[in-house]
Amino acid sequence: CRDSDGVLRKFGSSWRNADCYDCSCSRDGIDCCASFGTPVGFDEKKCEKIFNKETCTYKVVEKDDPSKECPFNAVV
């Protein structure tokens, strides 16, 4: 399999790409799925979600003061 970066992958191999998706290579091709959940159910007027590619996680913070985290209801 050739991944989106042009790297050849062996059948049966697995990896996490730069966009935080877990991928695997089989004879049917490459299959990828998100390794992270997305927060939902927060005050979108007051808060925003910020994705950290280093940790592959979201943080929900106040737009006016990103040092303050906002509560959210669930992760999907």
φ, ψ (nearest 5 deg) of residue 29: 125, -160
One-letter identity of residue 25:
C
pLDDT in tens, 6-19: 999 999 999 999 99
Q: Which residues contact 22 (CB under 8 A, 6 or more apart)?
A: 14, 15, 16, 32, 33, 34, 35
pLDDT in tens, 60-75: 999 999 999 999 999 9
Mean per-residue pLDDT of the chain: 96
CA distances from 55 to 2, 21, 27, 34 (A): 25, 12, 30, 13
- pLDDT of res. 56: 97
pLDDT in tens, 7-62: 999 999 999 999 999 999 999 999 999 999 999 999 999 999 999 999 999 999 99
